[in-house]
A and B are shown apart, each in its own frame.
Chain A
Amino acid sequence: MTEQDNIQDKDEIKYVRTTSAFDCGGRCPLKFHVKDGKIIRVEGDDLVDEENQLRACPKCRAIRQEIYHPERLLYPLKRVGPKGEGKFKRISWDEALDEIAAKLIEVKEKYGNEAIFLPTGGGFLSAYHFPVVNYIRLFTHFGGFSTHHGNVSSEGAVWATQTQYGSPFVGHGREDMLNSKLIILWGWDPARMNSGTDALYNLVKAHEKGAKVVSINPRYSDTDVIVADQWIPIIPGTDVAMMAAMANVIVKENLHNQAFLDKYTVGFDKFKEYVIGQEDGVEKTPEWAEKICSVPAETIRDLAREYATTKPAALMDCQGPARSAMGGQYNRGAMTLSAMTGNVGRKGGAACGGLMGIPTAHMFFGPFIVPPGRNPVEENHPNRVSVRGSLDVELRLRTRVHTNVMFDQIIEGKEGGYLYDIKFGWFACNNFLNQLGNTNRNAEALKKLDYMVCVDLFITATARYADIVLPATSMAERSDLTRPWPSGPYFGHMNKAIEPIGECKHDITIAEELAAKLGLEKFRHYEEDKTVKKLWRNTVDIKKHVKDYNKYKEDGIWRVETDEPYVAFKKQIEDLENNPFKTPSGKIEIFSERVAKINNPNLPPIPKYLKTWEDRNDPLIKKYPLQMISPHPKNRVHSELYHVEWLKEIDPHRCWINSIDAELRGIKSGDLIYVHNDRGIISIEAWVTERIIPGVIAIHEGTWYTPDEEGIDRGGCVNTLTKNAYAPCGAAALKTCLVQASKEKPEVK
């Protein structure tokens, strides 16, 4: 290369600033270099000084390969082979929409609107294009549809924070970690999972400023590598045993903040009775916990003392460990420890609760393009009851199926005790076959559907079962408003950089065109640029902060200036009388009367350690002696970006296995191994490491289910092994899973 070769002709390059709309938590500023209508480079934030830039992770840095991937869908497809085989032929939009409309009308007439199933999907979270909202609007106009309840990511944490605080806004501004003296990462790994774009860097700075960092995690995470002064490996699903033992030490040694508990909480005495053994005759000592969670009693004792006496201290729990069979207990346990030590509402502390959201610019305040309307299928359902304020997930399941058993409903229907007989499925912006438990069974369900439409950028693992696949536009082809979901505060503005590729259409356009085919005359048409600007004008919190729309649009970001980092519940702690917590008692509910009324021993009113199916006490452990966890990948957003080669090569799909477990099985790094249980078999490369506790393996979620002719999943999708089940609090129990690993191919059933 000569010195001149690599110098672009600047005059021909247009710069477009935008953000992604992924389900990743970050909305990192991106700067596309566009030449002759094509994106040729992607840069990150360069609008502010290096220290304050919101720097994007590898996923968006590689976005060009997603947008221009040779396998990206360019026109509508109709399935020509058996379901799942992946054989399709090109058809026109007219043919596709005519066929879909005819089928919808047929299903509606024959089975009613409830037979039309519309799952949600988090693949594109924004104000205008938000695909699911557009299809909800469409099917609402068409007379309704059935759907599901339960957020796969965060249901455990949502339930726990509603129970204890009555609010999901439990986060602090990330800079507030610099005020902490002790930071406990309980499962939290912001190096891999974007819990806010600036989370990792602020954690690094807090550590360098002198905060001690302790990590409690089955793995020595990427975050731990740079900040953990101490790593405490723990058996998955046993967090609350360790938390109860820490509480025991704190109470026995009188290190708890009784004044705080008296003033701001209710029910601590009940929890105290549990931890000192008055409730069930079992004292929750560190020795008791050690037998369950494998953490040495002395380590638990030391950490309890350190947490109770170092002020302020931030216990950072998250959502992952709550994605388990007794899900929400983990977040409730963490919140209770935080209250016991007076770290709620305090600078440098942390309220816990796993959600980490701050109210300013939070996704929960996201504007939706137009009210999608009320779904007649649910509005008119005889089972319908008010769920306002209720913590009973079963009430919410009276008109909707739980997310993690949505495919069971398709298979079993009313005869199997489910709500609806599903005939038609519309899957947009999700890859649920792949991302929910028991993928082999999910595939059987999709084979059983009368008719299925999928809208996506690729023929995903789910789309392989569709009758019609429609090509959607990507983030580069759209203008929109975005917002990060846990932190900031800042607002994002997406700007269209290129024209739609091939025959790709926006989801909102697909909804409009299908509405016309269905004869829905009142279905309104919206113009992208005009509506996006209107959404800025009409959305209270954006309008409040974003004063100059043109600058906001041009920069692709509007940073909200704050005097100091946001601290959750600061107002409540400063003046409880005038700012009560949004719970029935107005206080932090360590004991919840609302939960007590549900009267389910597996959903106790105080946080408790509970044994579960497929934990280490389950007799099944003899057959399947390894627990499997499935953390977020760093090179995909769940199953999105799976095709991108630049991302594949930075982190090959591998099974983390400790040397002790590997030696027992004759497994070496690089070996192709089989991981299996009664639900399925996957093949995957082994990676032998000391960075995971013995008895546990870790496989990152989101690679695509690819069964071979024998039914072995060669794509290594974790959910081929996980269970289609949910916790009593509603959490999808995807992290509770027993498996075996072997070099030899297991017998295929």
Chain B
Amino acid sequence: MQVGFYFDQTRCTGCGACMVACKDWNDVPAGPEFWMKILYNEEGKIPNVFVSYLVRPCYHCEDPVCIPVCPVNAITKREEDGIVIVDSDKCVGNEECDTKCLKACPYDSPQFGPEKGAKMRKCTFCFDRHLENKIPVCVQTCRPRALYAGNLDELKAKYGEIHEADNFIYSERTKPAIIFKPKQK
């Protein structure tokens, strides 16, 4: 089984509640470490302006490129649900390996705190909630219901198999587990 996300880009206002709830649930301090981010794109000229937001958790790729580059095998992909998990205790820290996972990831999902030697941490698909059959906290937070999560095959059956969205490039190499309703220009 592979878990994944469905993101309705036409509904996201970029409010940031998912970012805050993620930091609260996972106790991540304010600062550069974001397990969930929102990317912004603006094009055009007044009054014909196009704006889109994009959620950027870890997409729990089907072929995660972060795993083979890790020098100490700290990152694993769970067979039962496809969640990509890092063992931060094993991670040697951002200085010693020069953040190989972050450099390999096309989506900058591996995260490091600001301190020297910070260990990699990232979105766990709210692993503790997942074990209790609860959706990730970012999904539970979304007011306009732009973000859904679950079994990727079931999401595809319900929402289709669109891999493209504004401000997003689907990586054939890593196969991110997210499908979209994209915002059209």
A residues near B (Cβ < 8 Å) are: 1-3, 6-8, 40-44, 46, 50-51, 55-58, 61-62, 64-65, 191-192, 197, 200-201, 204, 220, 222-223, 225-226, 231-233, 634-635, 645-651, 658-659, 689-694
**Contact in complex: B24, A646 (CB < 8 Å):** yes
Binding-face segment, B13-21, B60-68, B105-113, B155-163: B13-21
The yes or no answer to B154 lying at the interface (CB within 8 A) is no
Residues on the B chain within 8 Å of A41, using CB: 24-25
Q: Interface size (B, Cβ < 8 Å)? A: 46
Q: Are B20 and A61 in contact (CB under 8 A)?
A: yes
CB distance from B64 to the nearest CB of A (A): 16
Known: A43-B137, A648-B30, A690-B44. A3 touches B145 (CB 8 A): no
Whether the Cβ atoms of B49 and A62 lie closer than 8 Å is no
Residue of B29, B31, B144 near A201 (CB, 8 A) is B144
Give chain A residues whose Cβ lies under 8 Å from the Cβ of B101: none
Decide if B144 touches A225 in the complex (CB within 8 Å): no
CB distance from A623 to the nearest CB of B (A): 25
Q: Please give 19 more A-B residue pairs, beta carbons under 8 A apart, in addition to A55-B17, A690-B44.
A: A2-B87, A3-B127, A6-B127, A7-B128, A7-B131, A40-B27, A43-B137, A50-B140, A191-B13, A191-B15, A201-B145, A204-B144, A220-B46, A220-B47, A233-B47, A647-B20, A650-B15, A690-B45, A692-B46
Q: Which of A40, A61, A232, A634 contacts B21 (CB 8 A)?
A: A61
Q: Which 7 pairs of residues, A with B, have the shortest CB-CB distance? A: A650-B16, A645-B30, A191-B13, A222-B13, A58-B17, A61-B20, A58-B20
- Check if B16 sits within 8 Å of A58, measured CB to CB: yes
B21–A1 CB distance below 8 A: no
Tell whether, in the assembled complex, residue B46 and residue A634 are in contact, meaning their CB atoms are under 8 Å apart: no
Q: Is the CB of A44 within 8 A of B20?
A: no
Contact of A42 among B24, B26, B131 (CB under 8 A): B24
B1-34 vs A: 1/0 string, CB under 8 Å? Answer: 0000000001111111101110111110111000
| Distance from A2 Cβ to chain B, minimum over Cβ atoms (Å) | 6
**B94 interfacial by beta-carbon distance below 8 Å:** no
Asked if B16 and A634 sit within 8 Å, CB to CB, the answer is yes
- Complex Cα–Cα for A14 and B42 (A): 44
A35 to chain B, nearest CB (A): 12
Which residues between 63 and 108 of chain B lie within 8 Å of chain A, taking CB atoms? 85-89
Contacts of B145 in A (CB 8 A): 50-51, 201, 204
| Residues A46 and B16 in contact, CB atoms below 8 Å apart | no
**What separation, in Å, do the CA atoms of A7 and B124 have in the docked complex?**
12
* CB proximity of B72 to chain A, nearest CB, Å: 14
- Does B15 lie within 8 Å of A58, measured CB to CB? yes
- Of B20, B52, B53, B88, the most chain A CB neighbours within 10 A belong to B20
Asked whether, in the complex, the Cβ of A649 is within 8 Å of the Cβ of B128, the reply is: no
Across the interface, which residues of A come within 8 angstroms of B87, CB to CB?
A: 1-2
Q: Which residue of B lies closest to A203 (CB)?
A: B144
Hey, which chain A residues are within 8 Å of B46, CB to CB? 220, 233, 658, 690-694
A residues within 8 A CB of B27? 40
Contact in complex: B20, A646 (CB < 8 Å): yes
Q: Determine whether the beta carbon of A1 is less than 8 Å from that of B88.
A: yes
- Which residues in B have their C-beta under 8 angstroms from that of A42? 21, 24
| Cβ contacts A to B, 10 pairs, < 8 Å | A1-B85, A1-B87, A6-B127, A8-B128, A55-B141, A61-B21, A197-B143, A225-B14, A650-B16, A691-B42
Q: How far apart are A42's CB and chain B's nearest CB, in angstroms? A: 5
Asked if residues A1 and B124 are in contact (CB atoms below 8 Å), the reply is: yes
Main secondary structure of the interface of B (DSSP, over half): mixed
User: Do residues A6 and B20 form an inter-chain contact, with CB atoms below 8 A?
Assistant: no
Interface string of B131-157 (1 = CB under 8 A from A): 100000100111111000000000000
Looking at the complex, which one of A56, A58, A690 makes contact with B42 (CB distance below 8 Å)? A690
A67 to B16 CA separation, bound complex (whole angstroms):
20
Which A residues are in CB contact (< 8 Å) with B44?
A: 690
**Which residues of chain B have C-beta atoms less than 8 A from A650's C-beta?**
15-16, 19-20, 38
Partner of B51 from the list A8, A62, A225, A634 (CB cut-off 8 Å) is A225
Residue of B nearest to A688 (CB): B42
Chain B residues with Cβ below 8 Å from A64 are: 24
Q: Residues of A contacting B53 with CB < 8 Å? A: 225
Given contacts A42-B24, A57-B143, A650-B19, contact A231 B128 (CB under 8 A): no
The residues of B that contact A220 with a CB separation of less than 8 Å are 46-47, 49, 51
Q: Which residues of B contact A56 (CB under 8 A)?
A: 17, 141
Known: A41-B24, A61-B21, A645-B30. A226 touches B10 (CB 8 A): yes
- Nearest residue (CB) in B for A221 is B13
Please pick, from B16, B29, B88, the residue contacting A651 in the complex, using a CB distance under 8 A. Answer: B16
Q: How far is the CA of A45 from the CA of B121 in the complex (A)?
A: 28
- B15→A57 contact, CB < 8 A: yes
Contacts of B23 in A (CB 8 A): 62, 646
CB distance from B73 to the nearest CB of A (A): 14
Give the distance to chain B from A577, nearest Cβ to Cβ, in Å. Answer: 42
**Given known contacts A1-B85, A44-B141, A690-B46, is B24 in contact with A57 (CB within 8 Å)?**
no
A65 to B29, CA, bound (A): 10
- Enumerate chain B residues within 8 angstroms of A200, measured Cβ to Cβ: 13, 143-144
What is the CA–CA distance of A204 and B15 in the complex, to the nearest angstrom? 15
By the criterion CB–CB under 8 Å, are B14 and A46 in contact? no
Min Cβ gap A46→B in Å is 7
A-chain residues with CB within 8 Å of residue B30 when the two chains form the complex: 65, 645-646, 648-649
What's the Cα separation between A62 and B29 when bound, in Å?
A: 11
Chain B residue with minimal CB distance to A635? B16
A61 to B13, CA, bound (A): 17
A233 vs B49: C-alpha distance when bound (angstroms): 11
Q: Which residue of B lies closest to A199 (CB)?
A: B143
CB distance from B43 to the nearest CB of A (A): 8
| Residues on A with beta carbons closer than 8 Å to the beta carbon of B26 | 6
C-alpha gap A645/B31 in the complex (Å)? 8
B20 touching A1 by the CB < 8 A rule? Answer: no
